[in-house]
Amino acid sequence: MTGQVIDPAAATSEDVEPPAATPAERGRLMIHDRVVEKVAARAATEVERATGAPRTVLGRTLGRATEDSAVRTSADVDGDLVTVTVSIAVEWPTPVREVAAEVRRRIVQRIEEIVGLQVVEVDIDVPTLLTRRTPPPRVR
């Protein structure tokens, strides 16, 4: 194999590689709604005194909220804009507005830093309160 040395001063347009395409010319990245839903659910569980709410069917709650209940989320991605709906339970007697505001802040922060999309709206539903937590095991 013979190597060819090209003198930069004598280089022609055939010898030089074309410049790389800009990111806009290479294509675009589409984030699926389900990815944003998972990030929002995880962000909501990071807030103390908030947990997932039990499912409701025809306006009736099925089961009780526990500290292990999954957070239900729904997201709508439109280009770079995101709308999220979250259903949580809040630990009693914590002020619901404070917890909801913290959940909203955390969801916006996490989606913007992890996914890179702008959150325009976060709707939070609190259909029930967490009235009992499992006590920590006692040491004997």
Give the integer Cα–Cα distance in Å for 36 and 25.
25
Tally the domains of the chain.
1
DSSP 47: S
Please report whether residue 25 resides in a domain. Answer: no
User: Which of 98, 104, 105 shows the shortest CA–CA distance to 85?
Assistant: 104
User: Which of 66, 117, 123, 83 shows the shortest CA–CA distance to 100?
Assistant: 123
Q: Which residues contact 32 (CB under 8 A, 6 or more apart)?
A: 77
Task: Find the helix packing angle between 33-45 and 96-110, rounded to 10°.
Answer: 130
Question: Could you tell me the pTM of the whole model?
Answer: 0.73
Please report whether residue 16 resides in a domain. Answer: no
**How do the pLDDT tens digits run along the chain, 140 residues long?**
555 555 656 656 555 566 777 766 777 778 999 999 999 999 999 999 999 887 777 767 677 777 778 899 999 999 999 999 999 999 999 999 999 999 999 999 999 999 999 999 999 999 888 887 666 677 77
CATH number, position 113: 3.30.70.1350
Please report whether residue 137 resides in a domain. Answer: no
What range does the domain containing 64 cover? 36-130
pLDDT for res 24: 67
Please report whether residue 29 resides in a domain. Answer: no
Q: Euclidean distance between the first and final Cα of the chain, in Å?
A: 78
Q: Which helix (H) or strand (E) holds 98?
A: helix 96-110
Give the integer Cα–Cα distance in Å for 40 and 46.
10
pLDDT for res 1: 52
